[in-house]
Amino acid sequence: MTVDTLTTLQNVNDSLRLALLRFRSEQTNCTTVTAQDFAGLLSEILSAAECLQLQPIHSDTPELVRQAALNYRGYLETLRDFLPELHSNLLAEKSRLEAALAHVSAAAAWARSSTKTL
């Protein structure tokens, strides 16, 4: 079972590391972050949590599994610290898009009214 735990943790750690890199590089362009990205991330986290609940880390746990669990914890802590900033950026992007939509709607309304007067 330890091999399964190690494999799961290593896969989840790889996914978390890549997600963090992707989210950080796209902070200024939040439009490429999707709900599916967050759903996938949640799925990975839940997978590792279930794995660790079924096989908790003890002093007799092999070193590779303990190290993978420590890495997992580190990624979760990094994610915990990073998510508020990403959330703020996503809210700012939402506001920007809403303002752009309002501008386009106003321009379209103006164009429709202008064609009626001509």
Q: What tens digit of pLDDT does each residue of 73-87 get? A: 999 999 999 889 888
How much is the pTM?
0.76
Domain ranges of the chain: 2-117
pLDDT tier, 24 (very low <50, low <70, confident <90, very high otherwise): confident
Is 16 exposed, middle or buried (CB count within 10 Å of its CB: 0-12, 13-18, 19+)? buried
Upper half-sphere CA count for residue 99 (Cβ side, 13 Å): 6
Distance CA 2, CA 23 (A): 31
Distance CA 2, CA 4 (A): 5
Return the structure tokens found at 83. 């998510």
Mean pLDDT of the chain: 88
Return the structure tokens found at 54. 């079924």
